[in-house]
Structure 1
């Protein structure tokens, strides 16, 4: 394949790398984690010069870890179902054997020499921590060098740019991302990933506790691997301090058909790109055709009240984040005034303008939205929406920007609601628009992560792939 040209995507035929189905071969001796890793490295060698998804690779350390996993599988004593799985870690999170540079020149060469909680948990489960994936600047909106694996002229999304791209490019079966507005669900949509942004606090973020509704998430090539990575982290590291962690079984849930789903409109519905609207309506028609009711905002006053509470979710999450991260950015600017992007500086200036009383009101509004979500638990099993407004935009496209706060990795309007709600959301790769991926997003109540994954598996099986040119 010529990797310098656009690769047309079809959800009916595309296959991302998977790991769960390799473990039987490991047990039988027909394959090994070391051989699996070498196949991943071959894809990385072929595709990385164009995709630019990795900041750092620890190939020597990965081979050593894969050899140890091979010995355990051969002896019939794997540490977990993900023993030997190559994974990428978003370069916001600390790893003892690689620098953590956070997409910022101010952290070039930063190497604390320690693992964050979820990285330690992954190693304890036997996962092979292969490298650090590209993030936008400090996980906000100023982009890194990564390109979309299906079209090098387009963004992979952000801020989990590299974590999404390594899945879409076929480099590894799973990667860690994080989201405070749309940084897991949107790039997963652009790069044909399965991905979960779990309930707030469900997976331990370690040192990244400075933003009150940021979430640790998982990108993967399959729902089985997605769940297995998430639950193995939770079993060993729990959730954020004060949070009960991810609820669910130790193995991936079977598909579950919902009875009723609510069409989540929010701010995004009116902005969905026309061809994507056509594709998504076909998904809704297919869902209706197999006996699942679709409720809209006019069908129930509780839905209308909920929609009203998330009508300004983008501004709400922007302002909360600006206030909470102001102190970090102020210190960076004091240290090196030219070391931060203008977009990040604009966030700092916005944070300066928000008073303590203003922040309290933002938190009140967020709490109200979460209460309106909880009121809908008896009404429907979950929510369905596009995972993004359309396919990945071209590199540098400022669509969705808010004044001087630029969003050149795609407009996150359809993702902000699940972030402020702290609700689990899963991207399901079942649509193609113009030969590019667009995901469908399922969302549920807080702590219903396992059920949302189960419904997502059902959706992928029940709804034929949708392609619109």
Structure 2
């Protein structure tokens, strides 16, 4: 344990840490020995204790949440609950609109912004009886500018971005789950850094509501356990559907049972060379366990189809960043024009300037390159059950600030090299919190072909149950 860590930041061990769970409380709701109201009060007590250091929340609607929980308690007592997540306290990333709380997107230009509408996912959660507790911190406009949130296992380290508050709130056991979003690595990296279970679904499988402007963004779920993660995702999709023109997340109404894969492909990406030796050793221990369990593990050096996929992915982070910058350009340009001092220099550089440098022709070339990556991934599909990789380039780094006189750093909330592939591919990915490096979480990523979300969750559940957690 790091002697510099004080208070509740006790370090992380994946073998002993257990995230806050909701599905196990349902039995007691039915029996009358617990209630959504009492469950919420326990969450609020944890928030009061930990929030001064973690800083995961922008807005907390405690009175509104208590009213929602009381209504849920009455439904459970009558046996008229709306869904398996009726009464579940949940945080909403502050990029998504909520009718009863501001949506300020971590950006000074949007201070006080209050559209008074619900995002499609938020509407669906209300329909399912979930308790909308508050808005979690996001990095500015979902981009690379760091937020004030700290890592719940060591406040000197980043919680990742852009779903920084969503990941930290789950890691700190403030709530059993939060809604997050991903453009490049905005959901998966916080899941890895904060010890969350995380589902980044097939692109378009959960209706993004008002956030339809970019072709690679996705809504997803961070949770303390895979059961809650799936129940929330399927509850939203079954009510709000998918994006226009896209099929909704499909699968069973209950969490997919654990499923042992036969063949897995290891994806190194360009991040492999930047992965430190200790983190790489932890990941190799997981691979050795998979082989010992009878799973065939393919590596790029022995498989030409996998090697072609790896080659196609070279430069994935810059490719994806360029696409996103161009697709966000029009909206962000207007924000800067209206409030030039309300947007950070980092956002201006990596959104506005990057889009202008790319141009329309460069964007079209980037789309062709993305299609080539997707085609290489599709060729791998019939040969493996899933692709596995580290979810991040090691555990959460420290961010000490930009160097005076030099341009803003590109990735202050962590290297997204292992995250951009799932976004470029529109593929489902699940973070399994199975490793720790230096007392901080380090996740294992399971990625599949588009539309195989339930199968990826089933494989991830098997790994979580069958493999021994690794701490180094």
Fold shared by both chains (TM-score > 0.5): yes
The 5-angstrom pairing of residues 7-406 of structure 1 reads: 7-347=10-350, 348-396=352-400, 404=408, 406=410
Q: CA deviation at 1:42?
A: 0.3
Cα deviation 1:165-185 (Å, max 9, x = unaligned): 000001000100001110111
**Which consecutive unaligned segments of at least 5 residues does structure 2 have?**
none
- Residue in 2 that maps onto 1:425: 429
Normalising by structure 1, we get a TM-score of 0.97
Cα deviation 1:7-47 (Å, max 9, x = unaligned): 21101111110001110110010100000000000000000
Normalising by structure 2, we get a TM-score of 0.96
Cα deviation 1:319-356 (Å, max 9, x = unaligned): 10111111122111211222111111112011012222
Cα deviation 1:144-181 (Å, max 9, x = unaligned): 11000000111100000000000000100010000111
Alpha-carbon distance in structure 1 between the residues aligned to 2:432 and 2:144: 23
- Residue in 1 that maps onto 2:419: 415
Alpha-carbon distance in structure 2 between the residues aligned to 1:313 and 1:405: 18
Alpha-carbon distance in structure 1 between the residues aligned to 2:213 and 2:379: 29
DSSP 3-state at the match of 1:378: helix
Match for residue 440 of structure 1 among 436, 441, 444: 444
Inter-CA distance 351–223: structure 2 relative to 1 (3 Å threshold): same
Q: CA deviation at 1:377?
A: 1.5
* 8 Å Cα contact 1:7-1:150 kept in structure 2: yes
DSSP 3-state at the match of 2:122: helix
Across the aligned residues of Structure 1 and Structure 2, the Cα RMSD in angstroms comes to: 1.4
DSSP 3-state at the match of 1:176: strand
Q: CA deviation at 1:396?
A: 3.4
Alpha-carbon distance in structure 1 between the residues aligned to 2:325 and 2:33: 52
Q: CA deviation at 1:405?
A: 5.6
DSSP 3-state at the match of 1:21: coil
Alpha-carbon distance in structure 2 between the residues aligned to 1:79 and 1:299: 51
Q: CA deviation at 1:404?
A: 4.2
